[in-house]
Structure 1
Amino acid sequence: MQKIAIVDYGMGNLHSVTKAFELVAEGRAQVELTQDPAVVAAADKVVFPGQGAMPDCMRHLDESGLKAVVLQASQDRPFFGICVGAQLLFERSEEGPTDSLGVFKGEVRRFPPELMIDGHGQKLKVPHMGWNEMFIVRDHPLWAGIPDGERFYFVHSYHFAPTDDIAVVETAYPYRFAAAVARDNIFAIQCHPEKSAQAGLKLLKNFVDWDGRA
């Protein structure tokens, strides 16, 4: 039976992520929430979530002793970044600002106040919080069975700005930006699939079934 490690570096309540993966695994995978680098190193697949401020998340990752094993896992097995865990995969974030892991080229940018106006001239709130449509940019095995325009749940004040062509799905608030990115064995998403009803569970199930090839 495959082993899926959910990395707990002390940032965010990861109970809902763990329970969602246990639900979709349906006994086909052993899902473990862990702070132990050895457990992460031995896992077949790794999930890297996170909530909170980027500087705090990066500091906790360093202090936990998990940074090296997370970087290694991102290179050699199916790897799924969620929310701030996904943001940490880029080179830097405007929040702080903070240097991060550099797995992907590019940065994480704050929603610029001068652009946060809807089509009726009304000011949009930051953080961006709620259900948003997802627009497919390119096919990926993890998005199989999820229709274009499906809605997922977001809570964030910053978004991906990759410099490479790695976007899989985009959303808009109010302008378009990458909501999910992927390269080789890595898939990373800004929203919360564990809170996104059946579409989110389908995405997690696809990861359980994924062999790490795009």
Structure 2
Amino acid sequence: MTVAVIDYGAGNLKSAAKALVHAASETGDKVVITADADVIAKADRIVLPGVGAFAECKRGLEALDGGVAAMREAVLEKGRPILGICVGMQLLATVGVEYGEHAGLDWIKGRVVKLTPDDPTLKIPQMGWNDLHFKQPHPIFAGLQSGAHAYFVHSYHFIADHADEVLADVDYGGKVTAAVGRRNIVGLQFHPEKSQAVGLQILGNFLRWRP
């Protein structure tokens, strides 16, 4: 199968693709970095990475000629699995409020707002390792248990409208959404490509996932 990593100028592209290639060595899937709408529409799986501000990433995505329409065709019409990473996850939301209010893809209902820990000694962004707490069973976390470590770098977080679409959270001066999911759509606030064995396990699970 073909896994399309969408290239829209949003950061951690090569490191995410490299980790996917490593995971795909066991599944035999082909990983391609692409900005081509036809490749995206025909892909068996899609990965939407992202680093930076919500609005900047959304503009980059919309600037792809036919890119968003191709994603809708693949994900919403054909039911192909998609994985959003970091800001790529946040773009799945209804709206982001970083530097103004900006519409997201609205594929998982919710808002992306500034991270405000209850503990004033905790720094923003959350940067470093944290323990995942799984809220809903999901194939992407197969073989992992709550307490698995993942690597985070973010200043904004996803507040989902529906609690059953929060797959995992972490404690950072309060509950912070770490993963969301609905049907063939899943998003990770953390960086699996920086999360060592746990991250590779999750990426491998994504490649094997049959929603």
**Match for residue 138 of structure 2?**
140
**Match for residue 79 of structure 1?**
82
Taking structure 2 as the reference length, what is the TM-score of the superposition?
0.93
* Equivalent residues in 2 for 1:61-80, closer than 5 Å: 61-65=61-65, 66-75=67-76, 76-80=79-83
1:70 shift after superposition: 1.9
Which amino acid in the other structure matches residue 93 of structure 1? G
Equivalent in 100, 107, 110 of residue 103 of structure 1: 107
Structure 2: how far apart are the matches of 1:61 and 1:128?
25
**Match for residue 42 of structure 1?**
42
Answering whether residue 196 of structure 2 is matched by residue 197 of structure 1, we say: yes
Moved more, 201-210 or 18-27: 18-27
Can you list the C-alpha shifts for 1:162-184, whole angstroms capped at 9, x where unaligned? Answer: 00120111111110122101111
Which amino acid in the other structure matches residue 84 of structure 1? V
Structure 2: how far apart are the matches of 1:12 and 1:143?
25
Q: Is the 8 A contact 2:4 2:45 kept in 1?
A: yes
Q: Is the 8 A contact 2:12 2:49 kept in 1?
A: no
Q: Is the 8 A contact 2:108 2:181 kept in 1?
A: no
Structure 1: how far apart are the matches of 2:15 and 2:9?
15
Taking structure 1 as the reference length, what is the TM-score of the superposition?
0.92
Paired residues, number:
205
Structure 2: how far apart are the matches of 1:145 and 1:153?
18
1:72 shift after superposition: 2.6
**Match for residue 12 of structure 1?**
11
Answering whether residue 53 of structure 2 is matched by residue 60 of structure 1, we say: no
Q: Is the 8 A contact 1:71 1:101 kept in 2?
A: no
1:143 shift after superposition: 0.3
| Runs of 4+ with >6 A deviation | none
Structure 1: how far apart are the matches of 2:154 and 2:74?
25
* Structure 1 residues without counterparts, runs of 5 or longer: none
* Equivalent residues in 2 for 1:95-174, closer than 5 Å: 95-96=98-99, 97-112=101-116, 115-117=117-119, 123-164=121-162, 165-174=164-173
Structure 2: how far apart are the matches of 1:126 and 1:15?
25
* Percentage of identical aligned residues: 40
Structure 1: how far apart are the matches of 2:107 and 2:196?
29
Which amino acid in the other structure matches residue 14 of structure 2? H
